[in-house]
Amino acid sequence: MVSKKDYKSKRETFMATLVRVHGQGIDQLQLDEVELRELASNEVRMTVKASRITGDQLNYIKGLPLPGEAIHEISSLGYEAAGIVTAIGKSVDEKWLGKRVMPVGPYDFERYPSLGDDIIVPASRLVEIPDNIDFAAAASTWVPYLTAYPVYSQSNLKSGDYVLIIAGTSAVGQAAIDLACELGAIPIVTTRSRRKAAQLRQLKQLNHVIISNEEDLVTRISEITVGKGVQFIFDPIGGNALTDLLQVASVGAKIYEYGILGGSECQFSAGLLLGKGLMLKGWTVSELVEDDLARSQAVTHICEKLALGDFNATIAKTYPLSQIWEAYRKLEKNDFLGTIIIEP
């Protein structure tokens, strides 16, 4: 039993192992033993049971900064984890001691990294994990589902409406499928891999999966929707691919861009945008995570669905922390469906 006497009143040296970047490239990752800083009054220390690695982390390792982030000479990694609270700051309620939790944010792996065996997180961001959800599933959940949450909360989709989910085999894409289906909308999903397409059709019971490097998007959308187009588009690619998205959007549709994998510059028809009355919005998960009320409502909804088994994270492979290099190399290959989990 974790007690206030042991973990709330006194300062003690506490060492942790963290994954840190010491230069560009996967080979430059190191497992560093570091002394964790003293807890602020509103923070907790958590023993990590599972963490998720992601493509934006991989880009950072290769020297490509995240939006709003600088590249540091030595940097920690990660912002998705699940574990057990083992120490609390002076103003934190003792109820959190020993709890199974996932911290929802902040989106800051310099101050609050998650890739390691013990980490510090703000108590205000803790969410208790439902009893029937394991640590790996919890660590795989919050960023994909909160990133995709506008599909549910801001799309105005109705039963029978079509929603286009670009790169639907990604963790965020799969979350978007779950959220769209909850509304009764009909997902149309794109992927570049025939193998992943077949897996996704079976996993999510989909009728419409477009192989984007083999089929013409505009033609296929017109066929599927009988020329009506789609009411909502959720896209991580951006770039010049936006031109086709404007064409397949129905009158009054919304287009959410949550990534720039296709580049940050593009040319498109303002005439289509205006003529169809389209809404084009850039979206990052931080917009939701930093809104206390919206975050609370979304997390409550997602946790309820997880507990019921309606939402399920697809875990492709699990690696021990000691094999972090192999884990990122697997991520780099992108030859799997789902997410990769690290267990210390």
Residues 99 and 167 in one domain: no
Domain final position from 286, 304, 329: 286
- Give phi and psi for 69, each to the nearest 5: -110, 150
* Residue in 317, 53, 335, 314 with CA at minimum distance from that of residue 196: 335
Burial category of 184 from C-beta neighbours within 10 Å (exposed 0-12, middle 13-18, buried 19 and up):
exposed
How confident is residue 10, by pLDDT bands cut at 50, 70 and 90?
low
Tell me the C-alpha distance between 154 and 68, whole Å: 25
Q: Where are the alpha helices (DSSP H) in 32-170?
A: 55-61, 135-139, 142-147, 150-153
Query: Under a CB-based contact definition with an 8 Å cutoff, are residues 324 and 343 in contact?
Result: no
Structure tokens at 12: 């003690």
- Asked if the structure places residue 52 within a domain, the reply is yes
* Closest by CA position to 136, among listed 81, 86, 99: 81
Domain count, the chain: 2
Cβ contacts of 56 within 8 Å, gap of 6 or more: 66
- Beta strand pairing call for 29-35 and 15-21: antiparallel
* Close Cβ partners of 145 (under 8 Å, ≥ 6 residues apart): 175, 178, 179, 298, 302, 311
Residue 259 clears pLDDT 90, i.e. is over it: no
Assess if residue 305 is contained within a domain.
no
Residues 216 and 335 in one domain: no
Encode burial over 270-294: b for 16+ CB neighbours within 10 A, e otherwise: eeebeebebebeebebbebbeeeee
Whether 173 and 101 map to the same domain: the answer is no
The percent helix, strand, coil of the chain (3-state, each to 5) is 35, 25, 40
Cβ atoms of 82 and 65 closer than 8 Å: no
Determine the 3-state secondary structure of 319 from DSSP. Answer: strand
Q: What is the CATH number of the domain that holds 205?
A: 3.90.180.10
> Quick check: is 293 in a domain?
no
Residue 153 belongs to domain spanning: 145-286
For the question of whether the overall pTM of this predicted structure is more than 0.85, the answer is yes
Whole-number percent of the chain with pLDDT over 90:
77
Highest average pLDDT, of 55-69, 260-274, 310-324, comes from 310-324
Is residue 297, in this structure, part of any structural domain at all?
no
What span, in angstroms and rounded, lies between the C-alpha atoms of 239 and 74? 31
10 and 136 inside one domain? yes
Q: Please tell me whether residues 159 and 241 are part of one structural domain.
A: yes
Provide the pLDDT for residue 69. 57
- Nearest alpha carbon to residue 137 among 344, 292, 339, 319: 339
The answer to whether 343 touches 318, Cβ cutoff 8 Å, is yes
Q: Is residue 303 part of a domain?
A: no
Question: DSSP state, 160?
Answer: T
* The pLDDT of residue 195 is above 70: yes
Residues 206 and 281 in one domain: yes
Same domain for 263 and 229: yes
Decide if pLDDT at 249 tops 50.
yes
In a domain, 269, yes or no: yes
Q: What is the pLDDT of residue 241?
A: 86
- Asked whether residue 191 falls in the same domain as residue 276, the answer is yes
Structural domain contains residue 128: yes
Q: Whole-angstrom Cα distance, residue 266 to residue 250?
A: 21
pLDDT in the model for residue 3: 46
Do both 226 and 330 map to the same domain?
A: no
| Cβ contact 66:54 at 8 Å | no
